[in-house]
Structure 1
Amino acid sequence: MNWKAKTVLHKNTPRIAVYFEKNTKLISQIKTFENALWSSSQGYWHLPDTTENRLYFKIPLTYTLTPNQEGIDSITIFRNYLASKRYSSNTITTYCDALKSFLTFFNTKPIDQITNEDVILYNNSYILKNKLSSSYQNQIVNAIKLFFKTVKEKTIEVEKIHRPKREKKLPNVLSKEEVKQIITSPINIKHRVMLSLIYSCGLRCGELLALEPQHIDSKRNIVILKNSKGKKDRIVPLSPKILELLREYYKLYKPKFYLFEGQHPGKQYYARSLQQVLKNTLQKTGIQKPVTLHWLRHSYATHLLESGTDLRYIQELLGHNSSKTTEIYTHVSTKNIQQIKSPFDDL
């Protein structure tokens, strides 16, 4: 296109100014944009400063773009709805941020006029164009569906909004030797116990940090997980070796409310601090892999499978709703694969 565009402040309103030499074809095209106006005093056409228009004219996105007032009010109503339904704080934040991204893209369009075609436009012109992940796209779809189904009475056909095809990525798994390196390296016993408990019980980070001393049942050798993902309670077996470490840790730290507390007594240990603990540990061990806390949970499940534990029990221990989620570990277990002889060996 023979035109140039940039952001301007036109009459104290953020707009996108479009410059081009007088051309009948270009004038006809610029008029197809919603709320496109000609400024004779400035000598340019100007359009609403929206994400959609910025992407079209290849203007870098900024974080100053926000939904219009209707969008802001709708997000507040949506947030209150999610809170009343007792969604977790993480889910509320994720869904509201996703809806905000979508409504920002259409911040010059009344919500009642948004259609299924707009969802496709958003996916193609924002998600795919910016090479955002399919998981992020899936979050957007979840938020849009729930918003229009429960909060905004609208004629949009929610069931026709399709989810992106999921990427089939295998979970990252560590060897037992690598796990041992990681959980034995920290000098601080609190750090050592936290990493060990995640691996030995297959815990999510949030589940570990929500533990209270009363959730450790030493007589039955189990850990009781309250209100874990999906608002479900479950129990997992407690290793006798971990119980010894826990007793040593408890005598030294004497936590007041949570089993693992930060610098302030009675306050939950920060997830970011635990991630930093793992990062420091990896530097100390020299392990070059981009290990996360969740890798320890994946390794727990895979090592159980390799030791002969039935997949149904692993599903129960991990708290998976569907067996299909647990079956992914059969693809990374090396127990049977290592027994396969390569035809190369017979050459």
Structure 2
Amino acid sequence: MTLLRQRMLHDMQIRNLAVNTQKTYLLQVASFARHFRRSPEVLGPEEIRAWIIHLTNERKLAPASVQLAVGSLRFLYRITLRRDWSDEDFPLPKRPVKLPVILSFEEVTRFFESIPSLKQRAILMTAYAAGLRVSEVVHLKVTDIDSQRMMIRVCQGKGRKDRYVMLSPRLLEVLRLYWHDAHPREWLFPGSIPGRPISRHAVGDACQLARERSGITKPVTPHSLRHAFATHLLETGADVRRIQLLMGHRSMATTARYLKLATSTVCATTSPFDLLPHPAPTPSQPPAPEYF
């Protein structure tokens, strides 16, 4: 490990960046250095610009992936190397705004009915009932289920933050049925490796199998259930601030995006056109017959 790599790693550890973020940033910077076959210390804004063009035109990376590469370089040069460079030295591609496909209440019901395994059903129902990320679901422990206060404790979620979410009485029934069948000890959903929780890939595979069995044509992932959770809460009248806390969003703007997805609420709004007075037809101009 070079001194620069070690110093960058220490800077990320001091700032308590997630372990996966540390690994990703180091990989991105290493790829940048290998491309130019020089240490990043001797490279500058022109090489950064050329790297972004290479990632976009040659490697055909999506804007989100390019933003990740730029973010790692921004940390290296601004934090570790303390270069006083402006935002213009780290140009970011604009990410297209795409709305996720949302499952209806009926589709969520059909999806759950298509899961044959009690364990898989409990996992995916927990993801929907509490609006959890898949990484949060798989790392739940038995002690995180507080049936006395009807809460679920989410330990070290995204951003390394703890939070509490509601424990649905109906979900509690499912979890109790699952617990009497599987008797998990530490991890609520243990994996095939002793002492380890179930993997995210295993949950994703279970989700894909259930989608195929249900006949739902929409794309369904564990994160789709989280999207459905927030959207269904909005459509049933929940407050946006409360949803922000339940979802663990740092910014209200992130939660506000779900306002675009709550179509049953948004599209049910009365158009101002319907509030205009209806002009009475004049005697010389009788109403036209309706054909449609």
TM range, smaller chain = 0.7 to 0.9
The CA RMSD over aligned residues, in Å, is 2.3
Amino acid at match of 2:256: E
Shift of 1:339: 2.8
- State which of 82, 90, 99 in structure 1 corresponds to 2:29: 99
Q: Is the 8 A contact 1:212 1:259 kept in 2?
A: yes
Q: 2:104 aligned to 169, 175, 192, which one?
A: 175
The reply to whether residue 335 of structure 1 matches residue 267 of structure 2 is: no
Distance 2:30 2:96 in 1: 24
Shift of 1:113: 2.4
Give the CA deviation at 1:118. Answer: 1.4
Q: How big is the shift at 1:320?
A: 0.6
Distance in 1, Cα, partners of 2:39 & 2:138? 42
How far the C-alpha of 1:266 sits from its partner, in A, is 2.4
Within 2, Cα distance between the matches of 1:90 and 1:208?
A: 17
3-state SS of paired residue (1:224): strand
Q: Residue 191 in 1 paired to residue 120 in 2?
A: yes
Decide whether the 8 Å contact of 2:101 with 2:219 is kept in 1: no
Instruction: Indicate which of 226, 247, 250 corresponds to 2:176.
Output: 247
Task: Provide the C-alpha distance between the structure 2 equivalents of 1:209 and 1:74, rounded to a whole number of angstroms.
Answer: 35
In structure 2, what is the equivalent of residue 111 of structure 1?
40
Partner of 1:135: 64
Change (3 A) 1:125 1:264: closer
Secondary structure of 1:227's aligned partner: coil
Structure 1 equivalent of residue 93 of structure 2: 164
CA-CA distance at 1:86 after TM superposition: 3.2
Note if contact 1:82-1:92 (Cα within 8 Å) is conserved in structure 2: yes
Greater Cα shift, 86-95 or 265-274: 86-95
Deviation at 1:77, TM superposition (A): 4.0
1:85-115 Cα shifts (integer Å, max 9, x gaps): 43222212222222222222212x3423211
Higher RCO by CA contacts (8 Å cutoff, separation 6 or greater): 2
Q: How does 1:188-267 map to 2 (within 5 A)?
A: 188-267=117-196
Matched, 1:282 2:211: yes
Paired residues, number? 274
Cα distance, 1:337 vs structure 2? 4.1
Q: Structure 2 counterpart of 1:151, which letter? A: T
Q: Is the 8 A contact 2:231 2:262 kept in 1?
A: yes
Contact 1:255–1:265 (8 Å) recurs in 2:
no
1:84 CA displacement: 4.6
Please tell me whether Structure 1 or Structure 2 has the larger radius of gyration of its CA atoms.
1
Percentage of pairs with the same residue: 31
- Structure 1 counterpart of 2:12, one-letter code: L
Alpha-carbon separation, structure 2, partners of 1:179 and 1:215: 25
Question: What is the SS of the residue equivalent to 2:162?
Answer: strand
Distance 1:96 1:290 in 2: 32
SS in 2 for 1:228: coil
State whether residues 145 and 158 of structure 1, in contact with CA within 8 Å, keep that contact through their aligned partners in structure 2: no
2:135 and 2:73 map into 1 onto residues whose CA distance is 26
Deviating more after overlay: 304-313 vs 331-340: 331-340
Unaligned runs of 5+ in 2: 274-289
Show structure 1 runs of 5+ residues with no match: 1-68
Note the C-alpha offset of 1:223. Answer: 0.5
Q: Which moved more, 1:213-222 or 1:172-181?
A: 172-181
Per-residue CA deviation, residues 16-35 of structure 1 (Å, 9 max, x unaligned), is: xxxxxxxxxxxxxxxxxxxx
TM-score, normalised by the number of residues in structure 1: 0.73
Q: In the aligned structure 1, how far is the partner of 2:201 from the partner of 2:149?
A: 32
SS in 2 for 1:235: strand
Q: Deviations over 1:65-86 (max 9, x none)?
A: xxxx9xx664454334434543
Q: Distance in 2 between matches of 1:259 and 1:282?
A: 24
